[in-house]
Amino acid sequence: MSAKTHHNHGPVGRVEDARLTTGAGQFAADWNLPGQLHAYFLRSDRAHAEIVSINAGQALKHAGVRAVFTGADAVRAGYIKPMHTLTFPGKGGMQTRAPDRPVLAHGKVRFVGEALAMVVADTLAAAQDAAELIEVEYRDLPPAVQPEAALAPGAPQLHENVPGNLALEAEAGDAAAVAAAFATAAHVTRLKVEVTRVAPNPMEPRAYIATHDARTDGYLLHVCCQGITTLRRHLAAYTGVPEDKFQFEVRDVGGGFGQRTPAYPEHGALMLAAKQTGRPVKWVSTRSEGIACDTHGRANIIDGALALDRDGKFLAMRLDWVNDMGAYLSPASMGHIRNTSTCMTGVYRIPALYASYRVALTNTNPVSSYRGAGRPDIAYAVERLVSQAAAELKVDAAELRRRNFIPPDAFPYKTPTGSTYENADLPGMLEQALKLADWKGYPKRRARTETRGKLRGIGIAAVIENTGAGQAAKDEVEIALDAAGNVTVYTMSKSQGHGHETTFAMIVADALEVPLARVRVRQCTPEKQHRLQGNHTGGSRSTVGAGSVCHLAAHKLIEAGRALAALELAVEPSQVEYGKGLFRSRDSKRTLKLGDIARTKPVSVVAEGKFGSTFPNGCHIAEVEIDPDTGAAEIASYAAVDDLGTVINHAVVEGQLHGGVAMGAGQIFGEHVVYDRGTGQLLTGSFMDYFMPRAGLVPAIKGAEHPTPSRVSPLGVKGVGESGCTGSLPAVANAVMDALAPLGVGHLDMPLTPAKLWHAIHSARPRD
C-alpha cells in the first residue's frame, strides 16, 4: 500500500493551537473534584540516611489535617516494587538488580527529595504547614554521588540486594575482533566524554488526583501522562491493583520529554490516601519538586576509542559506559541503555565493535528516558570521536565521514549489534547539508569573525536513531463515522504538544479524501481505555505506530463503507468506487455521501498494526562564535538536513526539529543537574541555578528534508520527535571544539558555560 501525498491540504497549521494558546486547554491541575483533599509530601533533605523514627503526632493535630502516611503504610499496602520494563541482557546471564522502592521511603532515604511522608488535609496550606510539624530522626550515612565512585570498592552501599551499587553489567559486540583490529590500526583516537545529567522541566508540572470507588474497589486517576496504557501497566505492577480497576482522565499535557511516561511513587501514595479517606486527593508538584524528583535524563560517562587504517577507514570502535541511574530504577530506565546499543555504529560501516556497560546506583534522583533516551548519548560519543579523529589526522571532518558512510546500496543494513537500518542515503544527505550550510564558504566567515576579535568553529554530525516499535502488543485505532460525515479518530497515543490532533487528522482526511475539518482526533478517552490497545507517545513512535494505523483504519472504513453502500445502491461491492467522500456505483453512477452509510446507525471500525523500528537520520552542521573576553558562545548558524521518510506536516516537523535542536544546544551550553559530591545535596534546585535554554539560544534553523521512505510503516514515515537533539548535541559540541582547537584546547565536557570556555581559552593562551 502506498501512501498518498496530501493532495487535499495546503500548508496546515496545528488545529489544537487555538485552544492551547488561548488558555482554553485543560491540564491535570485544572481539575477540581467535589470534596477533594490536598496532599503535600515531606521530602528528604539529605542524600543517604537511616530513618530512625517519624513522629507525625503534632501534624495530625493540625487544623484541617485528615491523615498522614509514611513508608510503613506503603509497605503494609505492598506498594513497594516499581516495575522496570526494559531488561537488557546482562553479562554472563546477569539479571538486572532492581531494588524495592516503597511509594514512601521506608527505613532509609536515598536521595535529596525522596518523599518519606504525605500529609492529606482540607487545604494545601494546612497540609504544608502540618508537614513542617513532622519530626524525623535520621542517622546520616555517607552518600555515593558520582557513578564511577559509587562502583568503586568500599563505596557506601545503597541497597542490600544491589552489591557494589551495580544494577547491571552488560556488553555488546565482539571484544576479540575489536582487540585484533586495534592491534593493526594505523591510528587510534581516544576520547572520554560525559553526557551530563539534565532535568526535563516540561512546562506543565506533574499533577494528579486519585479517587477511589469503594463499590468497585477501582481508581480514577486524573493525570498528565504520555499515554495511559504504559502508565496503567506500571501502576498495576507497582500496586498490585489489576489493570481493569484503573480509569484515567487526561486531556491536554504540557510537555513530557519521556518523563511523563512512568508510574511514580506519588501516584501510589495518592491511591493509598484516596482509599483510606474515601475522598479524591489532589497533588500538584512545585517547580522545585519537579527539578528534584521528576526523573532526570542522560547521566552517563563514555570512554571511547576508534581505530582507523592508513586511509582513514574505520576498523573498530570500543565504548565503555558508566550509566548513573540514581537511587532506584525507574520503570523506563533501561530503555536508554538498550537504545545506545541499537545505533552503536552510527551511520558508519565499522566492522568490529565492542561496548561494555556498568549501570550504577547513586544517592541521586532516578534517571530515566529523556528525549532521545540514549540515542543523543551514543550519537554524541560517536560523532565526537569521529570529529576528534578528523582533527588529529588533519582530514576534513565531512570527508572522513564520507569515506566511512554505509553506502546507499547496502540498505537494508544489518549493524554489528543486530539492528536493521531500513533505508538511507547518507552521502546524498551529506552533500545537501554541506551545500545548505555553505561548508566551502566557511573559511571566509571564519576570517570575518576573527577580524572582530572572536573565535569561530564549525561542527558537523551525521546521525541515525531508532524510532517506532514499542512494547504494546499492537497499536489500535478506532474510527467512528456519523451521519453528517464527521469522522472521529480514537487512539491510545497521547500528544503532549506534538500536534497529533492535526497530523493524525491529516492522515485520515487524506485517506478518506475529505476536508480536514471533518476529522477529529481523540486520545486516551475514558470510554476507549479498556477497548483499544496501543503504545504511549514516546520513542518518536506515534506516527510510525498509531499514525500508520490511522491510515489503515481509514482504508478499513472505506472497505466497510463499500459493503454498506453496495446494499443501498443495489450493486455488488466490487461495483462500488470510492473517492473524495463519495461512494459511486460504476454502472448507475448513483452516489452516496460518506456519511450516508451511517444514516441508520453510526459506523465504526478498529484497525491494528505492529511495526518494527524505523531509522530516521540526518546531517546537522552548526557554526559558533566565541567571545574570548567573556567565554560566551553563540550559535551563528545551524543547518539541518533530515531523512524522516514521508513527512505528514512540514510545519509540525520543523517545530519538532527546532525544539529538539534547542534541547541539545541547551544541554551543551548550560543545562546541568549538579549534586554536591561530598554531601549529595542538590545544587541546582531551582531556575536560579539550573540553566534553561531560551529562544535566543538557537537562531533560525536552515532546514531541509532528504527523505527515503520507511520500509516499515505503510505511510513511509519515520519518527522526528527526538531527531533534533540527537543531531544538535554532537554538532554544537563539535563546533565549539573546532573553534578552540587552534588554541590547543583538548576535549571539554558539557556544559560549555562561558566560565568553562573562558578558563580554557585563557589557560591555553596567556593574556596579552
Residue whose C-alpha is closest to residue 554's, from 600, 488, 649, 611: 488
Considering beta carbons, is residue 259 or 365 the nearer one to ligand MCN? 259
User: Residue 457, class by beta-carbon neighbours within 10 Å (0-12 exposed, 13-18 middle, 19+ buried)?
Assistant: buried
User: Residue 213, class by beta-carbon neighbours within 10 Å (0-12 exposed, 13-18 middle, 19+ buried)?
Assistant: middle
Residue whose C-alpha is closest to residue 740's, from 424, 391, 485, 506: 391
Considering beta carbons, is residue 401 or 551 the nearer one to ligand MCN? 551
User: Residue 659 Cβ, how far from ligand MCN at the closest point, in Å?
Assistant: 5
Residue whose C-alpha is closest to residue 361's, from 519, 513, 555, 166: 166
Positive or negative: CA dihedral 308, 310, 312, 315: negative
CA 336 to chain CA centroid, Å, is: 9
List of residues 6+ apart from 694 with CB closer than 8 A? none
Using CA atoms, how far residue 378 sits from 383, 391, 717, in Å, is: 8, 20, 23
Q: Which residue is nearest to ligand MCN (CB)?
A: 721
Considering beta carbons, is residue 488 or 502 the nearer one to ligand MCN? 502
User: Residue 253 Cβ, how far from ligand MCN at the closest point, in Å?
Assistant: 8
Considering beta carbons, is residue 374 or 538 the nearer one to ligand MCN? 538
Considering beta carbons, is residue 456 or 498 the nearer one to ligand MCN? 498
User: Residue 383 Cβ, how far from ligand MCN at the closest point, in Å?
Assistant: 20
Interface residue list for ligand MCN (CB under 6 A):
202, 255-258, 371, 496-500, 503, 537-543, 547, 644-649, 652-653, 656, 659, 717-722
User: Residue 163 Cβ, how far from ligand MCN at the closest point, in Å?
Assistant: 33
User: Residue 643 Cβ, how far from ligand MCN at the closest point, in Å?
Assistant: 10
User: Residue 581 Cβ, how far from ligand MCN at the closest point, in Å?
Assistant: 23
Considering beta carbons, is residue 24 or 688 the nearer one to ligand MCN? 24
List of residues 6+ apart from 142 with CB closer than 8 A? 48, 156
User: Residue 724 Cβ, how far from ligand MCN at the closest point, in Å?
Assistant: 8
Quote the Cα angle for 439-442-445, to 5°: 150
> What is the per-residue DSSP string for 6-40?
-TT-SS---TTHHHHTTT----GGG---TT-EEEE
Residue whose C-alpha is closest to residue 121's, from 268, 282, 264: 282
Quote the Cα angle for 345-346-352, to 5°: 15
User: Residue 541 Cβ, how far from ligand MCN at the closest point, in Å?
Assistant: 5
Considering beta carbons, is residue 432 or 679 the nearer one to ligand MCN? 432
Half-sphere exposure of 260 (CA within 13 A, CB side): 31
Rounded to an integer, what distance in angstroms lies between the CA atom of residue 46 and that of residue 178? Answer: 44
Considering beta carbons, is residue 646 or 667 the nearer one to ligand MCN? 646
User: Residue 109 Cβ, how far from ligand MCN at the closest point, in Å?
Assistant: 29
User: Residue 226 Cβ, how far from ligand MCN at the closest point, in Å?
Assistant: 8
Nine cell digits for residue 761: 581559552
Nine cell digits for residue 13: 497549521
Residue whose C-alpha is closest to residue 537's, from 501, 502, 500, 566: 500
Considering beta carbons, is residue 38 or 541 the nearer one to ligand MCN? 541
Nine cell digits for residue 314: 574505520
Considering beta carbons, is residue 37 or 697 the nearer one to ligand MCN? 697
Considering beta carbons, is residue 500 or 706 the nearer one to ligand MCN? 500
User: Residue 492 Cβ, how far from ligand MCN at the closest point, in Å?
Assistant: 12
CB 474 within 8 A of CB 610: yes
